[in-house]
Amino acid sequence: MRKKAMSENHNTSFASICDILSEMWLVDRDNEQLQDFIEYNDLGLPLAYGIAEGIVSSTPLAEQYITETFLLLLGALEIEDSNYTSLRELYEAAGVLD
């Protein structure tokens, strides 16, 4: 039931979510400012990477973890879901990039 509610409330495709979280995990996993987020989402981020790279196949439970991680990221950045296709777009929307 919870998974259905989360999946209805976002505009970004699941493939893009995986790409975004995968890039974040690769690029920002040692970023001290994101340490708490990275540690808390220690399953969703590497799962997204594995799916984005075709290492593993998605499952409903994996989708739930990944979607929850993405929604937590949007909340942490205080932005709405606007059909993002890249981590750069997401960071630009949050005003994190110059």
Q: What single-letter amino acid sits at 45?
A: L
Query: Which secondary structure element, helix H or strand E, spans residue 87, and what is its range?
Result: helix 87-94
The per-residue pLDDT for range 71-93, each reduced to its tens digit, is 999 999 999 999 999 999 999 99
pLDDT at 97 over 90: no
Domain ranges for the chain, please list them: 2-94
pTM score of the predicted model: 0.87
Q: What pLDDT sits at residue 53?
A: 97
Q: Residue 22 and residue 8: Cα distance in Å, rounded?
A: 22
Dist CA 35 CA 48 (whole Å): 18
